[in-house]
């Protein structure tokens, strides 16, 4: 999708703006991008799911259901500023097949009757002829259907976003961004821009209340992105994680291995086979959360290409190991990349960690440069022996949301009685923007 959202044409005036028959399109064109924008109106209060099906280059479904809160007022955002990615569809998804991949389906979304919720669909097409994009929903008590025209309202320009970049103009001005540039002149001014290089887009910076021009808003030594995506700590409050390094054996002194490994002249560990794992034993003196940091690069027959290194981390050699972390490291010209992951709570005693290169490509192998394990600390104002940020994160992760009780009815059909039905609709009011180049 970056081919679309990082292209300067995406931020210029589109080739065409139309009211379309619905987000159920087939244009049979090549090398184009389309954006559909509208407001979805729920016909009844209840729990919904929304699906997307798209092909030709990929499709994304963005939706503002109120789960994102305005950082200034703490009120739910159901307009463009509160949109989040709830579904994606890949290159080879058949038309109207909403179950080809789990990523096509949203989680349960609670909607209120009559409330407008901002919806946006991005569709990037590289190869034509089979291109298509559709969205469907399941209204409480009804079967899944392609979303009908009656469920949509048009979305006129927002006076709080005159440059139409899905960022509030007042917020952009307050934080030193250009409120008149949607990304056409300078990509870093767009909602997808990342001027401070911390891994969060400008839209994510707004939604989290962080500074888009400061990679570490609270100045505690951990980037905003790492605090939000890895540690689950507050990027607006200095958490003083005070990492304490745990002693590990030298790279070559592993306790177990799968596949063949060797050391190079620089002291790095080289996988002699395309897949394999390496295990190290370590001792924890005090219980707590720990972070594992792996630095690794690629050994490849085509080093000038950016190589993907899929890595999983597993603890304590479980009989049926379930990785507690997964990442894909990127290495070009053998340069290293870094993976950071937080472990579950570890009791005091002896543990082991396995780094596994889950690779399938015969053209590349992994080179592990270093493995570090740190015990994470932090402020403990209530003196319960657990860092406050850990408690806050655990409470958030273990919150239960009560939903209304629903009753389901099972029906059985003979195979010859089953028919495939699809419904289309006149999606009046959903804005379709089409950028073509052929």
Calculate the average pLDDT of the chain: 85
Spatial separation of the C-alpha atoms in residues 355 and 325, rounded to whole Å: 10
Q: Which residues contact 206 (CB under 8 A, 6 or more apart)?
A: 71, 81, 167, 168, 171, 212
DSSP secondary structure of 381-406: TT-SSS-HHHHHHHHHHT--------
Contact (Cβ atoms closer than 8 angstroms) between residue 274 and residue 267: no
pLDDT given for residue 321 in this prediction: 66
Largest CA distance in the chain: 69
Q: What is the pLDDT of residues 203-252, one digit of tens each?
A: 999 999 999 999 999 998 889 999 998 888 889 988 778 889 999 999 99
C-alpha to C-alpha distance for 220 and 214, rounded to whole angstroms: 12
Pairing relationship of beta strands 16-19 and 325-331 according to DSSP bridges:
unpaired
- Contact at 8 Å (CB) between 70 and 34? no
Task: Give pLDDT tens digits for 106-150.
Answer: 999 999 999 999 999 999 887 666 788 999 999 999 999 999 988
Between residues 172 and 125, the one the model is more confident about: 172
pLDDT over 70, % of the chain: 87
**81 has a pLDDT exceeding 60:** yes
Place of tokens 């909607």: 111
Question: What pLDDT is attached to residue 377?
Answer: 85
Mean pLDDT confidence for 265-294: 93
Residue 24: C-alpha distances to residues 53, 133, 135, 193 (Å): 9, 6, 7, 29
Residue 407 confidence (pLDDT): 44
Give the pLDDT confidence of 183-211 residue by residue, as tens digits: 999 999 999 999 999 999 999 999 999 99
User: pTM of the entire structure?
Assistant: 0.78
Cα of 350 vs its chain's centroid, Å: 34
Please name each of the domains of the chain with its CATH number.
Answer: 2-159+425-436 (2.60.120.380), 244-375 (2.60.120.260)
295-348 pLDDT per residue, tens: 999 998 887 888 999 999 999 976 556 899 999 999 988 999 999 999 988 999
């Amino acid at each position: 999708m970056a081919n679309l959202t990082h292209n300067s044409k995406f931020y210029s005036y589109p080739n065409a703006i139309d009211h379309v028959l619905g987000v159920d399109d087939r244009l049979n064109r090549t090398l184009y991008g389309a954006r559909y924008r509208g407001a979805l109106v729920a016909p009844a209060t209840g729990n919904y799911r929304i699906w997307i099906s798209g092909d030709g280059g990929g499709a994304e479904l963005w939706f503002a259901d109120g789960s994102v809160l305005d950082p200034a007022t703490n009120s739910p955002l159901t307009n463009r500023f509160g949109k989040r990615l709830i579904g994606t569809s890949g290159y080879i998804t058949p038309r109207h097949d909403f179950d080809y991949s789990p990523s096509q389906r949203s989680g349960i979304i609670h909607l209120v009757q009559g409330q407008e919720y901002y919806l946006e669909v991005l569709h990037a097409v590289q190869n034509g002829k089979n291109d298509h994009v559709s969205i469907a929903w399941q209204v409480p008590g009804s079967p899944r259907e392609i979303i009908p025209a009656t469920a949509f309202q048009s979305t006129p320009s927002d006076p709080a976003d005159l440059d139409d970049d899905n960022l509030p103009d007042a917020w952009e001005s307050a934080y030193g961004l250009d409120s008149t540039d949607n990304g056409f002149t300078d990509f870093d001014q767009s909602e997808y821009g990342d001027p401070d290089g911390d891994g969060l887009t400008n839209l994510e910076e707004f939604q989290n209340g962080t500074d888009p021009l400061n990679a570490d808003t609270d100045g505690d030594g951990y980037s905003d992105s790492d605090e939000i995506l890895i540690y689950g700590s507050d990027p607006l409050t200095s958490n003083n994680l005070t990492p304490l390094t745990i002693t590990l054996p030298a790279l070559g002194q592993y306790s177990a291995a799968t596949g063949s490994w060797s050391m190079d002249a620089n002291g790095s560990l080289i996988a002699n086979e395309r897949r394999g794992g390496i295990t190290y034993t370590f001792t924890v003196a005090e219980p707590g959360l720990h972070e594992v940091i792996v630095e690794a690069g690629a050994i490849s027959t085509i080093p000038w290409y950016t190589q993907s290194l899929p890595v999983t981390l597993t603890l304590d050699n479980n009989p049926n190991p379930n990785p507690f972390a997964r990442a894909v490291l990127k290495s070009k010209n053998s340069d290293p990349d870094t993976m950071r992951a937080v472990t579950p709570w570890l009791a005091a005693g002896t543990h082991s960690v396995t780094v596994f290169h889950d690779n399938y490509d015969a053209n590349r192998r992994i080179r592990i440069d270093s493995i570090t394990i740190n015990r994470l600390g932090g402020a403990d104002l209530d003196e319960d022996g657990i860092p406050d940020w850990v408690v806050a994160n655990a409470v958030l992760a273990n919150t239960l949301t009560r939903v209304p009780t629903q009753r389901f009815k099972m029906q059985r059909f003979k195979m010859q009685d089953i028919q495939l039905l699809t419904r289309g609709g006149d999606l009046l009011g959903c804005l379709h923007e089409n950028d073509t180049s052929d």
